[in-house]
């Protein structure tokens, strides 16, 4: 107590920056300046692929994931769209997506002219396998499990269901670069895996993405779609797949250089983050007032997010406010305040079935014979978990003292409830 007022557990500032940009250093400078020195900012300039940072980045992700193929792109959303097109998904198809993921996951499905089917998540905040299987219709072509907040999905169950029904699995690894499930890299389970290098991710190029796959046809089609002139570049004449119209989703050499430097630090960052999260969870796991998020594979958790649940939404709001007063920044996930675009009910153009054209959308095109409906309350279990969830962002620069502050603040707050 100071002057009769409660003294917060933590009084010093919480000054951690973004995971990615806080690691900018000499390697980023060396590789980016190297691109400028070479005067080769477009990956297909010249005939030597070894001089391309984008090609070197692809090599790194082939090695990391064990994939036969990797394709660098200008965004994670571009990677998702390209993977869907590469897998032959399009008009008339339904693609199952979780209720908790960034809006780009659903948007990618719509850009591919398919229809997103939104299903429940469970207490891992990732796709609920039972809800996934229950949502399958004759029009279902694929599923996109999303490894949210660095937490791996229940991939054993998801793959079993997908294989049983002959469905394509495309992993969204945007928020879990470097994660794994039972020792296998995330992104290597399905027909394709998609990564993001946007600034808020663990690895950044400002913007950028990566697609990995073992499927030769997916890779051939993805190459064509990601570059409207792909088959006409000298280095790509070996692609014998019939050409079709594509976009321009190529990654620049400067962005590739940044991603290449950053990607070499993934394992080091994750080890630090896992140690931090393990320290904090060990210090609070005995508390009866809260329930920790279920992690399908804790060894594969990227560990930059600590989530726990309170019994009710009202208690979560009160706990969050008290925890903030103890000096620990945190947030409730679904609080009817900021319209978080990671929550399905806030995907306005999906909820309203609004496409770029008023007259021709994936929902009303002649190829689609299904009848998907959306409503803000269509996934009550997901909303319940999100209503009761509190999230604390973790950072690789956190010290033992920082971890103990978090533990003590949570314990003090729990004792007051």
DSSP assignment of 138-182, as one string?
A: TTEEEE--B-GGGPPP-HHHHHHHHHHHT-EEEEE-TT-TT-EET
CA atoms within 13 A on the CB side of 242: 0
Class of the 23-264 domain?
Answer: alpha beta
CA 86 – CA 217 distance, rounded (Å)? 7
CA 280 – CA 288 distance, rounded (Å)? 16
What residue ranges in 46-108 does DSSP mark as E strands? 69-73, 94-98
Query: According to CATH, what is the number of the domain 266-338+382-416?
Result: 3.90.1150.10
Looking at the DSSP bridge assignments, the partners of residue 142 are 95, 168
In angstroms, how far is CA 70 from the centroid of its own chain?
18
Looking at the DSSP bridge assignments, the partners of residue 206 are 198
Give, for all 417 residues of the chain, the pLDDT tens digit.
Answer: 455 578 999 999 999 999 999 999 999 999 999 999 999 999 888 767 778 999 999 999 999 999 999 999 999 999 999 999 999 999 999 999 999 999 999 999 999 999 999 999 999 999 999 999 999 999 999 999 999 999 999 999 999 999 999 999 999 999 999 999 999 999 999 999 999 999 999 999 999 999 999 999 999 999 999 998 877 666 566 677 888 999 999 999 999 999 999 999 999 999 999 999 999 999 999 999 999 999 999 999 999 999 999 999 999 999 999 999 999 999 998 876 666 899 999 999 999 999 999 889 999 999 999 999 999 999 999 999 999 999 999 999 999 999 999 999 999 999 998
SS3 85: helix
Contact at 8 Å (CB) between 65 and 129?
Answer: no
CA 69 – CA 160 distance, rounded (Å)? 24
What is the maximum alpha-carbon separation in the chain? 78
Question: Structure pTM?
Answer: 0.96
Contact at 8 Å (CB) between 378 and 118?
Answer: yes
User: Which pLDDT value is given to residue 358?
Assistant: 85
Our CA dihedral for 223, 228, 233, 238, rounded to 10 degrees, sits at 40
Q: Which helix (H) or strand (E) holds 306?
A: strand 305-309
Domain boundaries, the chain: 23-264, 266-338+382-416
Q: What is the set of active-site residues?
A: 201
SS3 74: coil
CA 189 – CA 169 distance, rounded (Å)? 8
User: Which pLDDT value is given to residue 45?
Assistant: 83
294: exposed, middle or buried (Cβ count in 10 Å: 0-12, 13-18, 19+)? middle
User: Which tokens sit at 326?
Assistant: 């103890």
CA 191 – CA 187 distance, rounded (Å)? 9
User: Which pLDDT value is given to residue 118?
Assistant: 98
- Residue 127's alpha-carbon distances to 144, 150, 308, in angstroms, are 9, 13, 18
CA 290 – CA 308 distance, rounded (Å)? 6
Contact at 8 Å (CB) between 84 and 361?
Answer: no
Q: What are phi and psi of 176, to 5 degrees?
A: -140, 35
User: Which pLDDT value is given to residue 237?
Assistant: 62
CA 47 – CA 234 distance, rounded (Å)? 8
Looking at the DSSP bridge assignments, the partners of residue 210 are 72, 195
User: Is the Cα dihedral 221, 223, 227, 231 positive or negative?
Assistant: negative
User: Which tokens sit at 93?
Assistant: 């198809």
User: Which pLDDT value is given to residue 338?
Assistant: 62
For 8, which DSSP code? P
User: Which tokens sit at 13?
Assistant: 């500032």
CB atoms within 10 A of CB 247: 16
324: exposed, middle or buried (Cβ count in 10 Å: 0-12, 13-18, 19+)? middle
CA 133 – CA 156 distance, rounded (Å)? 13
* 23-264 and 266-338+382-416 share one fold: no
């Amino acid at each position: 107590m100071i002057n009769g007022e409660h003294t917060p557990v933590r009084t010093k500032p919480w000054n951690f920056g973004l995971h990615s940009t806080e690691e900018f250093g000499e390697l980023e400078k060396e590789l980016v300046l190297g691109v400028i020195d070479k005067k080769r900012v477009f990956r297909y300039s010249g005939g030597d692929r070894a001089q391309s940072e984008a090609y070197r980045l692809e090599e790194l992700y082939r090695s990391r994931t064990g994939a036969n193929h990797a394709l660098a792109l200008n965004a994670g959303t571009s990677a998702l769209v390209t993977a869907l097109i590469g897998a032959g998904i399009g008009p008339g198809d339904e693609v199952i997506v979780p209720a908790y993921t960034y809006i780009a996951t659903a948007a990618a499905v719509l850009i591919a002219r398919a229809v997103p089917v939104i299903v429940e998540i469970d207490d891992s905040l990732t796709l609920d396998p039972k809800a996934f299987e229950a949502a399958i219709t004759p029009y279902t072509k694929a599923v996109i499990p999303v490894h949210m907040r660095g937490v791996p999905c229940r991939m054993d169950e998801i793959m079993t269901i997908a294989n049983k029904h002959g469905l394509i699995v495309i992993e969204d690894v945007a928020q879990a670069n470097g994660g794994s499930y039972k020792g296998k890299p995330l992104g290597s389970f399905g027909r394709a895996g998609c990564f993001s290098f946007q600034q808020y991710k663990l690895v950044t190029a400002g913007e950028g993405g990566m697609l990995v796959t073992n499927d030769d046809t997916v890779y051939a089609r993805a190459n064509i779609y990601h570059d409207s002139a792909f088959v006409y570049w000298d280095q790509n004449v070996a692609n014998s797949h019939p050409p079709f119209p594509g976009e321009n989703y190529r990654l620049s050499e400067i962005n590739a250089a940044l991603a290449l430097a950053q990607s070499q630090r993934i394992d080091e960052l994750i080890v630090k983050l896992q140690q931090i999260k393990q320290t904090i969870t060990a210090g609070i796991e005995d508390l009866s007032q809260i329930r920790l998020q279920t992690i399908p594979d804790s060894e594969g958790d990227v560990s930059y997010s600590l989530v726990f649940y309170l019994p009710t939404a009202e208690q979560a709001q009160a706990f969050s406010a008290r925890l903030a007063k103890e000096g620990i920044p945190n947030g409730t996930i679904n609080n009817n305040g900021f319209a978080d675009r990671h929550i399905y009910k806030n995907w306005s153009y999906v909820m309203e079935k609004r496409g770029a054209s008023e007259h021709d959308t994936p929902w009303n095109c002649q190829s689609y014979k299904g009848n998907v409906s959306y409503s803000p309350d269509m996934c009550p279990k997901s909303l319940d978990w999100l209503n009761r969830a509190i999230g604390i962002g973790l950072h690789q620069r956190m010290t033992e003292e920082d971890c103990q502050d978090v533990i003590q603040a949570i314990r003090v707050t729990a004792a007051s409830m």
